[in-house]
Amino acid sequence: MGAALSPEAANPGSARPWAEVTDPELIVANLHRNYTGVSTTIGALLPLQAARHRLWLMGRPLPGGPSAHSLAAALAVSRRPPAGRPFRIWHVRRNVELQVAWLARDLLRLPIRIVFTSVALHTHSFWPRFLIARADAVIATSMRAASLRPNVAGIVPHGVDTGYFHPPADRGQEWAQARLPGRYGIGIFGRVRRGKGTDLFVEALLRLLPRYPDFTAVIIGPCKIRNRSFQATLIKRIAAANLSDRIRFLGEIEWAEVAAWYRRLSIVVAAARYEPFGVTILEAMASGAAVVATRTGNYEAMIEEGQNGFLAKPGNIEELVASLERVMSQPQRMQAMGVAGRQRATAMFGVETEAEGISKVYETLWQGGGR
């Protein structure tokens, strides 16, 4: 969701005792100054990876994570191979991290190998393509992403912590704690902007809420300055329809509250026009909510249409409205979809599966595979 978070509020594993590592075989990069979706992925994986590998987190600290080491410290420790391994692995997920790792390996001649996780579903411009081609191994998060990248060593979808994100004992009671109208909540998570389909979500609910008085909609996520006029226009439209009490912009919330909102909502929507992967739908499924998403990212792999949710064409408001109405019009089916989503998330998209898949790529490199 983006924000500076307190370690205690941001992650239930903040009290985890982390072993001190002086000779890491794995260095996980987190050089972005903001807390982003990539940060969430790294944070969820770190405890599982630390159980498998001697690791360092390099760059910005993460809530509940181990002590973070500086880039300078990572360069210094990487001047020699780690005990028992022919080289250290640097796992990077952003272009700037990939560039730093490439310079460390090829300019400074450090004995490291580079693993890059790629989620993008488009062809990159020249410089990112140049860098990605120089990774020793690329992990793609979907079949489509894999088809666009060289050096793909494995297809490992992102996973979700199904212990942290879990269904409530009573969703009705959870919703009541929100002190909002109606019996059911429907929400969208992420930055308020056109690319995320915030306007499509609002337009769909402007059409549907008058017909379904038991529902109230919430929009959870920050709005950057450049999108303030976009949000203001949506707020005016909502007010003109006399629905200001039933379509609420909640803004950015603390990470500890994100899981609570998933437990309150009966339906979670991802209306993006383009999405590289889409972890919010997995978090919603793990929390037992029915889901409606567009056919972008990895949503088609996550959603078994008619079982745990529905899909709509990106940017198509008519399909989005129809998909939402198929859920909203049948509360019992909506609840059954939430149960099916939880089962699917647990069986197919647990973060443990992601950690295992990544470790297999590491071991292949250490055993002599890769570029």
Number of Cβ atoms within 10 Å of the Cβ of 339: 14
Q: 295 with 148: CB under 8 angstroms? A: no
Give 243-275 pLDDT, tens digit per residue: 999 999 999 998 789 999 999 999 999 999 999
Looking at this protein, which amino acid is placed at residue 218? V
Which architecture characterizes domain 171-348 according to CATH? 3-Layer(aba) Sandwich (3.40)
Number of Cβ atoms within 10 Å of the Cβ of 4: 9
Give 277-314 pLDDT, tens digit per residue: 889 999 999 999 999 999 998 999 999 999 999 999 99
Is pLDDT at 200 greater than 70 in this prediction?
yes
Dihedral pair phi/psi, residue 73, rounded to 5°: -65, -40
What gap in Å lies between CA 340 and CA 207, rounded to an integer?
A: 27
Q: 253 with 223: CB under 8 angstroms? A: no
- Which H or E element spans position 30? strand 26-30
Is pLDDT at 6 greater than 50 in this prediction?
no
Q: Parallel, antiparallel, or unpaired for β 68-69 and 55-59? A: parallel
**338 alpha-carbon distance from chain centroid:** 19
Looking at this protein, which amino acid is placed at residue 304? E
pLDDT of residue 371: 54
Strands (DSSP E) found in 83-237:
88-92, 112-118, 137-140, 152-155, 184-189, 215-220
> In 3-state terms, what secondary structure has residue 159?
coil
Is pLDDT at 370 greater than 70 in this prediction?
no
Residue indicated by tokens 């089916």? 333
What gap in Å lies between CA 196 and CA 18, rounded to an integer?
A: 36
CA dihedral sign of residues 330, 332, 334, 336: negative
Domain boundaries 7-159+351-366, corresponding CATH code: 3.40.50.2000
The crossing angle, in degrees rounded to 10, of helices 37-52 and 279-286 is: 70
> In 3-state terms, what secondary structure has residue 336?
helix
DSSP H helices in 241-298: 255-264, 279-286
Residue indicated by tokens 């990876």? 49
Q: 33 with 97: CB under 8 angstroms? A: no
Q: 167 with 263: CB under 8 angstroms? A: yes
Alpha-carbon distance values, 30 to 59, 97, 206, 355 (Å) = 5, 8, 40, 17
Q: Where are the domains of the chain?
A: 7-159+351-366, 171-348
Q: 7-159+351-366 and 171-348: same fold?
A: yes
Residue of 124 and 183 predicted with greater confidence: 183
Overall size of the chain counted in residues: 371
The crossing angle, in degrees rounded to 10, of helices 279-286 and 331-348 is: 110
Closest Cα partner for 293 from 223, 202, 201? 201
Closest Cα partner for 337 from 275, 233, 266, 255? 266
pLDDT of residue 12: 46
Closest Cα partner for 82 from 23, 20, 29, 19? 23
Give 47-94 pLDDT, tens digit per residue: 999 999 999 999 999 988 999 999 999 999 999 999 999 999 999 999
Residue of 211 and 40 predicted with greater confidence: 211
